Amino acid sequence: MIFDMFAKAKQPPLTAFCTKLSAPENLIRVAGIEATKASSRTDKRAVVLSLTIMAAAGFFVERFRWDRGVWKSSRRYLRDTNLDVITAEAIVWVHSLLGKLWLNDALKDHETIERIGALTFLVASKMALHMVKARTGFGFEKEATERRSSILKS
Query: pLDDT per residue over 70-112, tens digit each?
Result: 555 555 566 677 888 889 999 999 998 888 888 887 778 777 6
pLDDT digits (tens, 9 = 90+) for 20-33: 999 999 999 999 99
Q: What is the pLDDT of residue 114?
A: 72
Q: What is the pLDDT of residue 64?
A: 72
Residue of 51, 49, 57 lying closest to 117 (CA atoms) = 49
| DSSP annotation string for the chain | -GGGGGSPPPPPHHHHHHHHHTSHHHHHHHHHHHHHHS-TTS-HHHHHHHHHHHHHHHHHHHHT-GGGTTTGGGHHHHTT--HHHHHHHHHHHHHHHHHHHHHHHHHH-THHHHHS-HHHHHHHHHHHHHHHHHHHS---HHHHHHHHHHHHH-
Task: Report the mean per-residue pLDDT for the chain.
Answer: 82
49, 95 contact by CB (below 8 A) = no
pLDDT digits (tens, 9 = 90+) for 110-121: 776 777 777 888
Q: What is the pLDDT of residue 79?
A: 64
Judging by beta carbons within 10 Å of its beta carbon (0-12, 13-18, 19+), is residue 130 exposed, middle or buried? middle
Does residue 19 have a pLDDT over 60? yes
Mean pLDDT of 117-131: 87
Q: Residue 37: what residue type?
A: K
Q: What is the pLDDT of residue 4?
A: 42
pLDDT digits (tens, 9 = 90+) for 41-66: 888 989 999 999 999 999 998 887 55
Does residue 39 have a pLDDT over 90? no
What does each C-alpha distance from 53 to 25, 84, 145 come to in angstroms? 15, 15, 16
